[in-house]
């Protein structure tokens, strides 16, 4: 079976977990014999050899893909207009107002081409709209059996490609707007998400946790939604041997420093842990709109010598930070899945995860906390630092669980959904 797949990230063009998931899913699909044509908004330079055929949607001639304007709207009740906006996937209201003051203009008009940058930056909604029109053109030229689109940025691409080709369309939901911003949602993004789920022949959700949100918040028939958990890639080379007797321990937070990931709960718990274990080092690896506030809070709490911020880390640096860490903590407020805890577990790092996460459905031997309960998080961090026997048990059990969660198994379940929609 041949799949026309629309994404916004794919290594080396990657900003976070979505790119990691797309790589793992497509790698698994090709291992079981499927063919994947993967479309990105833009590819800069040579993409290099990979297991899928990568196509850039950018820079199609204007006679092949029309510029979206006020007179051309998608079907249904959505009212889209191409205006200068500053939407980003993990934006909050304050940051949005700041961006609107500094970002101006739009690209592509009058150049004879429709150009997509593939960025998460300025005019993202306009980028999403352009991508949809280019997808329609690509869909008419390529040969495939099913269309598979990832997250809200690719919804219009998937819908228009399906309408142009008549092929079934699957919407893969890796996160929803309520994960990113709680109740303070961006209505435009919510409407796009709902539109995609309604128009899709079938919806894939990364967890039962996310499926509940899809059903309750978007009104989608539960029979239309299949849960397919993400997988994890095994580490390259030998995993570093841990020294449980080492006095100074390193506790790691790795992810976007945004509302969704709960970095503020990690900082508050760190302050409490340091009262009893002053030799502990806390590391926050990642970037995001809450990073300046976290730096200020660490300074207010007087933790500067015990708390380190790394910024965004590339793949090699991520491996190094896992190797340095004695404990991984993911206190997410709302986590559709969470690949990082599986990566940590595969590398013999014990993990504490939020109960409000999809990965808690498959990682049974991790310690779990309610994200808001700073005292419970503190107590469980201290327990792992204080009791080596507990740490060893967590490490061994979680490693065994994580290494049985493969991308091939994920791909097999996705391929079953392909067969289901193609046989209707």
| Residues 176, 180, 182, 187, CA torsion sign | negative
- For residues 298 and 180, give the distance between their C-alpha atoms in angstroms, rounded to a whole number: 23
Tens digit of pLDDT for each residue in 65-114?
A: 444 444 344 444 433 333 233 334 444 445 545 544 544 333 333 333 44
| Pairwise CA distance, residues 254 & 369, whole Å | 17
Q: What's the rounded Cα separation, in Å, for the pair 393 and 76?
A: 53
pLDDT (0 to 100) of residue 46: 55
Q: In what order do the strands lie in the sheet with 225-227?
A: 53-56, 35-40, 2-6, 146-150, 169-173, 202-205, 225-227
Residues of the chain predicted below pLDDT 70 = 13-16, 43-49, 58-123, 237-247
Q: What is the mean pLDDT of the chain?
A: 84
pLDDT in tens, 164-221: 999 999 999 999 999 988 898 989 999 999 999 999 999 999 999 999 999 999 999 9
Q: How far is CA 220 from the centre of its chain?
A: 21
Looking at the chain, how many residues does it have?
424
C-alpha distances out from residue 129 to 41, 61, 152, 159, 174, Å: 11, 16, 11, 11, 20
**How far, rounded to the nearest angstrom, does the alpha carbon of residue 321 sit from its chain's CA centroid?**
20
List of residues 6+ apart from 308 with CB closer than 8 A: 281, 282, 283, 284
pLDDT at 423: 84
- Would you state the pLDDT for residue 244? 57
State the pLDDT at residue 174. Answer: 96
pLDDT for 237 equals: 57
State residue 262's pLDDT score.
Answer: 96
**Residue-wise DSSP of 379-390:** HHHHHHHH-HHH
Residue indicated by tokens 């990931």? 261
């Amino acid at each position: 079976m041949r799949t026309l797949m629309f994404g916004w990230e794919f290594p080396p063009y990657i900003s976070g977990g979505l790119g990691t998931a797309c790589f793992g899913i497509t790698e698994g699909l090709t291992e079981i014999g499927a063919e994947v044509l993967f479309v990105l908004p833009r590819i800069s330079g040579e993409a290099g050899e990979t297991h899928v055929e990568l196509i850039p949607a950018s820079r199609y001639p204007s006679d092949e893909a029309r510029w979206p304007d006020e007179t051309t709207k998608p079907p249904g009740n959505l009212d889209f207009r191409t205006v200068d906006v500053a939407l980003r996937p993990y934006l909050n209201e304050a940051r949005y107002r700041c961006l609107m003051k500094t970002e101006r203009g739009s690209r592509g008009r009058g150049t004879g081409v429709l150009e997509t940058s593939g960025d998460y930056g300025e005019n993202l909604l306009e980028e999403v709209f352009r991508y949809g029109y280019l997808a329609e053109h690509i869909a008419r030229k390529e040969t495939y059996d099913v269309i598979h689109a990832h997250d809200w940025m690719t919804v219009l691409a998937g819908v228009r490609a399906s309408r142009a080709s008549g092929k079934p369309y699957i919407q893969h939901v890796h996160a929803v707007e309520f994960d990113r911003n709680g109740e303070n949602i961006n209505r435009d993004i919510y409407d796009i998400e709902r539109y995609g789920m309604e128009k899709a022949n079938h919806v894939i959700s990364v967890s039962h946790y996310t499926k509940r949100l899809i059903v309750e918040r978007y009104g989608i028939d539960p029979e239309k939604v299949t849960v397919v958990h993400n997988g994890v890639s095994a580490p390259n080379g030998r995993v570093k041997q841990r020294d449980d007797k080492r006095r100074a321990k390193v506790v790691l937070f790795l992810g976007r420093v945004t509302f969704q990931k709960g970095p503020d709960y990690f900082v508050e718990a760190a302050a409490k842990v340091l009262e009893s274990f002053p030799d502990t080092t806390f590391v926050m690896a990642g970037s995001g709109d809450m990073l300046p506030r976290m730096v200020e809070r660490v300074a207010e709490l007087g933790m500067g010598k015990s708390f380190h911020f790394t910024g965004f880390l590339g793949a090699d640096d991520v491996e190094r930070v896992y190797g340095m860490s004695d404990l991984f903590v993911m206190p997410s407020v709302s986590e559709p899945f969470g690949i990082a805890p599986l990566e940590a577990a595969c590398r013999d790092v014990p993990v504490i995860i939020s109960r409000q996460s999809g990965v808690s459905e498959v990682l049974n031997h991790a310690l779990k906390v309610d994200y808001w309960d700073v005292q419970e998080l503190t107590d469980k961090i201290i327990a792992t630092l204080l009791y080596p026997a507990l740490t060893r048990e967590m490490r061994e059990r979680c490693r065994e669980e994580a290494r049985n969660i493969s991308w091939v198994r994920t791909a097999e379940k996705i391929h079953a959904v392909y067969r289901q929609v193609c046989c209707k």
